[in-house]
């Protein structure tokens, strides 16, 4: 093996590597830290990481290429990512991006010649209720304006370190506008765990010996508590809050009952669906509830290891999350001897690096294992063979918080709220054209109209439920209800006022899916690109009815043949729009005849660039 010469610029990489075990599962975490330290992952770093983790350079380059926040080229001292969600755009983010580029003298996506800065677009940063938003060197900027962009450009040009910028720039609000039974009062840390353990019949929880406790046949109160808690979870009928609505109790029981030397509890905080930000608020202000729900899951299924997989857009929460974990360890709510029972469970934080697909549970597990976030084959399910091929419970942040409350207050209490098939309450992330954007908690079964009334958005012409992969609702449908029986949702609720052009929404969503398709399967990889080009063609006034037919056909192919939910749901918004907002398409159609997609003049652009010509004669 050829040894690399020591490279002084690589000292930070060596320091980072010293902090990590020689395990492939550490790869993404190492790459993220290197990216933060050097603002790129150069070839020299790849070589060092390859040596340390004993993984090929090819694999490392493959991982760098997959995640949006990793780069093999230098991005500059200041790296700005402008949130490109439709709600940010409606607040003027695209104009602000161009404005900042002009102030800094950079081209979008290119690093300034002096290496000072670069400006990029990124998918939704989860600040939709306080946009336009951006990230600078990993930290969130909210409520951006032209004035703020002027100030930011000045700070960058003066090389003022980001930690010396005014704190106001980085202020993130919870905007918790309505709470119901679940998030009214936060329970004491540990209360839910104690309640769960006491369900076994031992009120005191004293004198429990670990050896006794872990033997399920002993029927000891401590073990019985876990079984009783699972029964409460069944009674609650809690369904996964990530959108799919799978019953949590079935997942937990399946995981518990598979014989395996180890099993895992994973909290999915990837929250990549544009317009979604409830997990950010839960991990900010209900952090204990989430960690307690995970610990409870470990107790019920017999796992000692929990992992919080969180999107990098929330990197600023790192000190807070670490502090809460440390406090819980100090109060025996995590660690080797939880509440003196001998139950051992701890939680690690694992960061994502900018990939919507990693919200899909099997892709998330691939990412945890240090690979490209590519969804796995349908079978086996992660609950049977997930992380490291062990049984793995993957639940949403909100699901774990709900599980903690169920342990505390009982399944019947929980099932007493909501509807027949959607028990409990749900958090809704309201953004867009309304007076009071933010987080709203309602029992399942609330109507779209009621949410609109409360947030001051009754004027809306449309609401996008559950993000770009969800459903577009028009005024005629505002009495539909938010529940698994009708509109199932991760909680995203984007409001579009009466003057919005709904075609702009379609275009934004179409581009989002092209950017986020993982590239594994043909229909999604090529289909999302074809759809984006077709929509762009219509936007350019060159659309024809044949293009609309093509959109419908490609959509159908994707829905039927795509490998995973991303590709299967990516065309939903287009099909909705073609039925419900056809006028916004038709007004762009200048002809009823076919217009070719091939643009001869545009195709000559490369030749013009090569010859340095742009005069009239160089055009058609």
Question: Where on the chain is the footprint of another protein (CB under 8 A)?
Answer: 2, 43, 47, 56-59, 61-62, 64-68, 355, 372, 377-379, 514-523, 525-530, 533, 550, 553-554, 556-557, 560-563, 597-598
Taking Cα atoms as reference points, which of 275, 272, 246, 282 lies closest to residue 465? 275
Closer residue to another protein in complex, CB, 112/514:
514
Rounded to 5 degrees, what are φ and ψ at 191?
-60, -40
Reported in sequence order, the residue ranges of 206-302 that DSSP labels E, i.e. its strands, are 264-269
Task: Report which DSSP code applies to 4.
Answer: P
Nearest distance from C-beta of residue 13 to another protein, angstroms: 16
Q: CB neighbours of 393 closer than 8 A, spacing ≥ 6?
A: 251, 252, 255, 263, 264, 265, 266, 297, 301, 303, 383
DSSP secondary structure, 173-192, as one string: ---EEE--SSSSSPPPTTHH
Q: Which is nearer to another protein, 77 or 516 (CB)?
A: 516
CB of 453 to another protein, least distance (A): 39
**132 vs 382, beta carbon nearer another protein:** 382
CB closer to another protein out of 337 and 556? 556
Phi-psi region of 83 (alpha: psi -120 to 50; beta: other; left: phi over 0): beta
Ramachandran category for residue 543: left, alpha or beta (phi over 0 → left; psi -120 to 50 → alpha): beta
Query: Which of residues 354 and 445 has its CB atom nearest to another protein in the complex?
Result: 354
Least distance to another protein, CB of residue 571, Å: 14
Q: Which is nearer to another protein, 381 or 458 (CB)?
A: 381
* 554: its two tokens: 């490609």
Q: Which is nearer to another protein, 225 or 567 (CB)?
A: 567
The two tokens of residue 297 are: 């899951």
| Distance in Å, CB of 549 to another protein, minimum | 10
Question: Rounded to the nearest whole angstrom, what is the least distance from the CB of residue 59 to another protein in the complex?
Answer: 5
Burial class (CB in 10 A: 0-12, 13-18, 19+), 450: middle
Nearer to another protein, 403 or 562 (CB): 562
Smaller CB distance to another protein: residue 284 or 522? 522
Residue linked to tokens 């997989």: 309
DSSP one-letter code for 109: T
Least distance to another protein from the beta carbon of 550, Å? Answer: 7
Minimum distance from residue 16 beta carbon to another protein (Å): 21
554-561 contact pairs (CB < 8 A, 24+): 554/527, 554/530, 555/527, 555/531, 557/523, 557/527, 558/523, 558/524, 558/527, 558/528, 561/521, 561/522, 561/523
Q: Which residue lies nearer to another protein by CB, 598 or 617?
A: 598
Q: Which is nearer to another protein, 16 or 357 (CB)?
A: 357
HEC assignment per residue over 325-355: HHHHHHCCCCEEEECCCCEEEEEEEEECCCC
H helices within 369-468, ranges in order?
397-409, 411-415, 448-455
SS3 content of the chain, % helix, strand, coil (to 5): 50, 15, 40
Specify the residue for token string 């872990």.
Answer: 214
Nearest approach in angstroms of CB 395 to another protein is 25
CB of 514 to another protein, least distance (A): 6
For the record, the structure tokens of 540 come out as 């350019």
Residue (39 or 376) nearer to another protein, CB: 376
Task: State the Cα angle at 520 between 515 and 522, rounded to 5°.
Answer: 90
**Distance from C-alpha of 546 to C-alpha of 535, rounded to nearest angstrom:** 12
Task: Please report how close the Cβ of residue 367 comes to another protein at its closest, in angstroms.
Answer: 12
Q: Which alpha helices (DSSP H) does 410-544 contain, by range?
A: 411-415, 448-455, 502-516, 522-539
- In angstroms, the CA 615 to CA 608 distance is 9
> Rounded to the nearest whole angstrom, what is the least distance from the CB of residue 532 to another protein in the complex?
9
The total of other beta-carbon atoms located within 10 Å of residue 592's CB is 8
3 state SS of 30 = helix
Closest separation in Å from C-beta 419 to another protein: 27
Nearer to another protein, 102 or 556 (CB): 556
DSSP state of 457: -
Given the complex with another protein, which of 241 and 563 has the nearer CB atom? 563
CB 516, min distance to another protein, A: 7
Give the up-direction half-sphere exposure of residue 73: CA atoms within 13 A in the CB hemisphere.
8
- Residue 61 beta carbon to another protein: minimum distance, rounded to whole angstroms: 5
């Amino acid at each position: 093996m050829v040894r690399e010469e020591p490279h002084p610029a690589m000292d930070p990489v060596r320091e980072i590597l010293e902090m990590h075990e020689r395990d492939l599962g550490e790869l993404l975490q190492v790459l993220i830290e290197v990216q933060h330290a050097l603002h790129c992952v150069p070839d020299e770093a790849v070589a060092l990481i390859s040596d340390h983790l004993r993984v090929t350079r090819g694999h490392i380059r493959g991982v760098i290429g997959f995640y949006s926040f990793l780069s093999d080229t230098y991005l500059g001292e200041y790296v700005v990512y402008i949130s490109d969600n439709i709600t940010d755009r409606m607040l003027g983010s695209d104009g602000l991006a161009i404005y900042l580029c002009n102030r800094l003298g950079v081209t979008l996506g290119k690093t300034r010649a002096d290496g000072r800065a670069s400006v990029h677009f990124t998918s939704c940063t989860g600040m939709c209720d306080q946009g336009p938003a951006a990230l600078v060197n990993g930290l969130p900027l909210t409520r951006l304006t032209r004035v703020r962009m002027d100030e930011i450009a000045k700070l960058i040009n003066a090389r003022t370190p980001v930690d010396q910028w005014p704190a106001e720039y980085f202020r993130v609000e919870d905007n918790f506008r309505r709470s119901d039974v679940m998030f009214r009062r936060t329970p004491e840390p540990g209360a839910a765990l104690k309640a769960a353990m006491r369900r076994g019949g031992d009120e005191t929880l004293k004198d429990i010996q670990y050896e006794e406790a872990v033997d399920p046949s002993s029927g000891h109160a401590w073990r019985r508590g876990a079984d009783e808690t699972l029964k409460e979870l069944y009674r609650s009928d809690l369904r996964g809050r990530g959108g799919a609505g799978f019953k949590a109790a079935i997942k937990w029981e399946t995981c518990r009952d598979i014989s395996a030397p180890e099993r895992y509890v994973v909290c999915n905080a990837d929250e990549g669906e544009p317009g979604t930000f409830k997990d950010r608020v839960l991990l900010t202000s209900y952090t204990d509830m989430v960690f307690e729900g995970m610990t409870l899951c470990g107790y019920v299924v017999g796992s000692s290891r929990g992992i919080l997989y969180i999107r990098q857009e929330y990197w600023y929460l790192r000190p807070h999350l670490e502090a809460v974990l440390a406090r819980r360890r100090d109060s025996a709510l995590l660690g080797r001897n939880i509440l003196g029972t001998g139950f051992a469970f701890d939680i690690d934080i694992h960061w994502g690096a900018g990939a919507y697909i990693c919200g899909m549970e099997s892709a998330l597990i691939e990412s945890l294992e240090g690979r490209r976030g590519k969804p796995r084959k349908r079978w086996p399910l992660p609950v049977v063979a997930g992380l490291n091929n062990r049984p793995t419970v993957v639940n949403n942040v909100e699901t774990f918080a709900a599980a903690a409350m169920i342990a505390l207050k009982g399944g019947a209490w929980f099932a007493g709220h909501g509807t027949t098939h959607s028990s409990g309450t749900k958090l809704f992330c309201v953004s867009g054209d309304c007076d009071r954007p933010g987080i709203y908690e309602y029992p399942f079964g609330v109507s779209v109209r009621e949410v609109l009334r409360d947030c001051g958005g009754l004027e809306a012409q449309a609401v996008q439920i559950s993000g770009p992969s969800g459903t577009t609702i028009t005024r005629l449908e505002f009495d539909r209800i938010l529940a698994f029986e009708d509109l199932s949702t991760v909680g995203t609720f984007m409001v579009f006022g009466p003057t919005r052009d709904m075609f702009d929404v379609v275009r934004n969503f179409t581009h989002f899916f092209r950017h986020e398709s993982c590239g594994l399967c043909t229909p999604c990889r090529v289909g999302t690109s074809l759809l984006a080009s077709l929509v762009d063609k219509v936007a350019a006034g060159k659309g024809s009815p044949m293009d609309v037919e093509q959109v419908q056909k490609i959509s159908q192919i994707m829905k039927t043949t795509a490998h995973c939910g991303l590709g299967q749901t990516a065309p939903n918004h287009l099909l909705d729009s073609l039925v419900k907002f056809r006028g916004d398409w038709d007004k762009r159609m200048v002809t009823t005849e076919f217009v070719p997609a091939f643009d001869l003049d545009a195709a000559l652009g490369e030749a013009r660039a090569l010859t340095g010509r742009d005069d009239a004669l160089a055009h058609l």
